[in-house]
Structure 1
């Protein structure tokens, strides 16, 4: 009986060593120094994609492209105009708006008071000044709309009057407060764009683009991120504890069976499994 117990203890140590980093989250280095992209300085909690993984949070990962810092989201890319580490704000501008090539702003930012970005299967939490910003819709219609139809304002989203609409698609700005039931059946929403206005009624295309060129300033709070990390780490640690237990049980069962096979072959009596389990516990 000494040999099975000794084997069980050794296997327990082996199983516990299978997950050496189970209780530690990925180490975040706050002292990686300052990276630069163009004239913008990037430091903790942000990181450039080219930096080592331990620098800053992946949730705050930025991309440097042709000396322009880009804030990537699943719904489009934004140029980073400025980062204030004192006020904890990042100033974003839709890449399509910044490019003076008749492109339509099709990058969306969610606009509840607190919102998430999903990026590379991770989530970053930001929020914005709800009293300062609202949203407007960019819609794609298969037919040309009158400027006002059934009480809904359709403002031409093409800033280049000389460029014809192609493929029978017509893009318009619509006020963010427009009920979905008031959308024309031929129109689909392409983007929800933040703007520092609460009503676009009576505005021209030029007026709207002038406001869009001002960009959007959003704020981050690390305590929110730390809550996410803490809760996620707790879930991971519990899952790893279950996996360790299952691995221990599986290895112990296998060694018990092998031990009894050895005893049979050596002509010694088989140890009762239930008694062995009780004594082992």
Structure 2
């Protein structure tokens, strides 16, 4: 008679329950799905995906829109250090059917730009002195459309954020204050939702 595998619950750091289909690298073979493998490094749950590594803050088995989701943060982002950007920003277009994960198109996007001259638009949020490029002006634009990108500007990167950014904008509006790059960076450092 074949032996039945008993899979003990997994946990690592702030993720107190790592549910199936997820598994930790050192779990018994047959426990969880290898497509959902995580690592526990220095008491931190880590997801390796595409070329990047992401700190997993939480895993939700079920969400209203999808099977489930997990809050992740690019390991390059450091809370309180506004000069840090993600090492491997993920975009919805990064995913194909071969990956079990995807980014729902409902989350805000921050587009970082370098411009050869100053931009006089409330949509362009100055990121200096956090990020500087010699001879260029650096800006962040939230949910930029192609028509909002000035011809003398170049997109350097685009970063998916969580809904934290929308909540922050709403709170600042209530305080009659504009959003700053430090506000944006704080929300980036809170991570975003990766669905599965």
TM-score by length of 1: 0.49
Q: 1:211 aligns with which of 168, 172, 187?
A: 187
Indicate how the Cα distance of structure 1 residues 213 and 99 shifts in structure 2: closer, same or farther if over 3 A, else same: closer
Partner of 1:63: 39
The answer on 1:137 being equivalent to 2:116 is no
**Alignment partners' CA distance in 1, 2:34 and 2:6:** 15
**Alignment partners' CA distance in 2, 1:30 and 1:83:** 23
The answer on 1:153 being equivalent to 2:133 is no
Indicate how the Cα distance of structure 1 residues 39 and 153 shifts in structure 2: closer, same or farther if over 3 A, else same: closer
CA contact (8 A) 1:97 1:212 kept: yes
Indicate how the Cα distance of structure 1 residues 166 and 59 shifts in structure 2: closer, same or farther if over 3 A, else same: same
Q: Secondary structure at the match of 1:70?
A: strand
| 5+ residue gaps, structure 1 | 1-28, 221-281
Report deviation, 1:78. Answer: 2.3
Partner of 1:81: 57
Partner of 2:26: 50
**Alignment partners' CA distance in 2, 1:217 and 1:48:** 20
Indicate how the Cα distance of structure 1 residues 53 and 107 shifts in structure 2: closer, same or farther if over 3 A, else same: same
Which structure is larger by alpha-carbon Rg, 1 or 2? Answer: 1
**Alignment partners' CA distance in 2, 1:30 and 1:146:** 63
Report deviation, 1:45. Answer: 0.6
Indicate how the Cα distance of structure 1 residues 125 and 218 shifts in structure 2: closer, same or farther if over 3 A, else same: closer
- Mapping of residues 109-188 of structure 1, within 5 Å: 109-111=90-92, 116=95, 122-126=98-102, 128=104, 130=106, 133-139=107-113, 141=114, 143=116, 145-148=117-120, 151=121, 153-157=123-127, 161=129, 165=132, 171-179=138-146, 182-185=149-152, 187-188=154-155
RMSD: 3.8
**Alignment partners' CA distance in 1, 2:132 and 2:75:** 21
| 5+ residue gaps, structure 2 | 170-177
Higher helix share: 1
- Mapping of residues 18-29 of structure 1, within 5 Å: none
Indicate how the Cα distance of structure 1 residues 126 and 178 shifts in structure 2: closer, same or farther if over 3 A, else same: closer
The answer on 1:33 being equivalent to 2:14 is no
Report deviation, 1:43. Answer: 3.4
Q: Secondary structure at the match of 2:84?
A: coil
**Alignment partners' CA distance in 2, 1:108 and 1:203:** 22
